[in-house]
């Protein structure tokens, strides 16, 4: 029986890491074989290391030399169907130390290549019955790329051969600034974050992602996510196999008694 693939989206500093960790633990508690991955996968060479350099202003290697790692691959700016956004040209969107030194299309292609590098492993794990919880995935690239002026149709095309998630959840709300990383391209500008949030919401509506309000207690956000995820497993062969169904029923019953909820 194949595993389920769940992707969790949202802008930076919205609580994704906390909530994905809680979700994974909850799935483990009810007997689901599950693994967690956070994209991009920085440990992957060359894509992960290149992305880390670009995002944190440490890029030393040339883009073209890295592209040559993938035989037959080229990066070119696509024919734009609309003019790219110029909102951020009047003022820098990031400190000088981490200014983006590649086009947004080049950056998004690196993100896509990072996903493609790991795609065979994802498919293998799912086929073996292991479920996957991914913090960020293709939807993240679409939202950020769209927010920064890349053509959305082109972005969709670049990612179209990747394994699609069975469930996509957007955690939406005002972000928690305590975890803000000053020298990170996608965390340094409140204006850019706001534009990305609008892109996430647009994609959520278009692709029917489930939306969870981030500005609640950690426990309530976790419970809202669980309500959605539980329904996914109830419809699957994993749930119908019996063990997980009994575990979920037992866990839900125990939680209701412990919290005093009806």
pLDDT score, position 114: 94
CB 209 within 8 A of CB 9: yes
Which CATH number describes the domain made up of 5-259? 3.40.50.300
Instruction: Copy the structure tokens of residue 58.
Output: 């440490």
CB 199 within 8 A of CB 144: yes
134, containing H or E segment: strand 131-135
Question: With 0-12 CB in 10 A as exposed, 13-18 as middle and 19+ as buried, what is 262?
Answer: exposed
pLDDT tens across 86-143, in order? Answer: 333 334 444 454 456 677 888 898 899 999 999 999 999 999 999 999 999 999 999 9
**pLDDT above 70 for 221:** yes
- What is the C-alpha to C-alpha distance for residues 214 and 44, in angstroms, rounded to an integer? 30
**pLDDT above 90 for 258:** no
- What is the C-alpha to C-alpha distance for residues 177 and 198, in angstroms, rounded to an integer? 18
- What is the C-alpha to C-alpha distance for residues 128 and 259, in angstroms, rounded to an integer? 36
- What is the C-alpha to C-alpha distance for residues 119 and 122, in angstroms, rounded to an integer? 5
Residue 256's pLDDT band (boundaries 50, 70, 90)?
A: very low
CB 229 within 8 A of CB 24: no
**pLDDT above 50 for 78:** no
**pLDDT above 60 for 244:** no
- Neighbouring CB atoms inside 10 A of 254's CB total 11
- What is the C-alpha to C-alpha distance for residues 176 and 157, in angstroms, rounded to an integer? 33
In eight-state DSSP terms, residue 177 is G
pLDDT score, position 67: 45
Q: How far is CA 9 from CA 14, 46, 200, 201, 209, in A?
A: 9, 24, 8, 10, 9
pLDDT tens across 150-187, in order? Answer: 899 999 999 999 999 999 999 999 876 554 555 545 55
Instruction: Copy the structure tokens of residue 145.
Output: 């790329």
- What is the C-alpha to C-alpha distance for residues 186 and 169, in angstroms, rounded to an integer? 20
pLDDT tens across 44-53, in order? Answer: 988 898 888 8
Mean pLDDT of the chain: 78
Tell me the whole-structure pTM to 2 decimals: 0.77
Residue 240's pLDDT band (boundaries 50, 70, 90)?
A: low
**pLDDT above 50 for 69:** no
């Amino acid at each position: 029986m194949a595993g389920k693939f769940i992707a969790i989206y949202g802008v930076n500093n919205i609580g994704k890491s906390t909530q994905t960790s809680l979700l994974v633990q909850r799935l483990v508690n009810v007997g689901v074989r599950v693994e967690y991955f956070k994209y991009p996968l920085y440990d992957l060479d060359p894509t992960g290391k290149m992305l880390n350099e670009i995002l944190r202003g440490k890029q030393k290697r040339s883009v073209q030399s890295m592209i040559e790692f993938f035989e037959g691959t080229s990066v070119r700016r696509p024919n734009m169907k609309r003019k790219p956004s110029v909102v951020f040209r009047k003022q820098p969107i990031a400190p000088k130390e981490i200014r983006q030194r590649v086009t947004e299309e080049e950056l998004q292609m690196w993100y896509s290549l990072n996903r493609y590098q790991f795609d065979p492993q994802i498919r293998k794990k799912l086929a073996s019955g292991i479920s996957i919880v991914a913090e960020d995935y293709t939807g993240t690239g679409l939202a950020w790329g769209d927010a920064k002026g890349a053509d959305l149709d082109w972005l969709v095309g670049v990612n179209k051969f990747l394994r699609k998630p069975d469930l996509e959840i957007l955690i939406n709300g005002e972000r928690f600034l305590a975890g803000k990383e000053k020298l990170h391209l996608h965390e340094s500008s409140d204006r850019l974050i706001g534009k990305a949030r609008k892109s996430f919401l647009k994609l959520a509506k278009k692709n029917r992602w489930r939306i969870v309000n981030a500005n609640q207690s950690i426990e309530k956000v976790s419970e809202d996510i669980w309500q959605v995820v539980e329904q996914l497993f109830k419809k699957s062969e994993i749930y119908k196999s019996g063990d997980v169904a009994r575990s979920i029923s037992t866990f839900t019953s125990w939680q209701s008694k412990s919290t005093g909820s009806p």
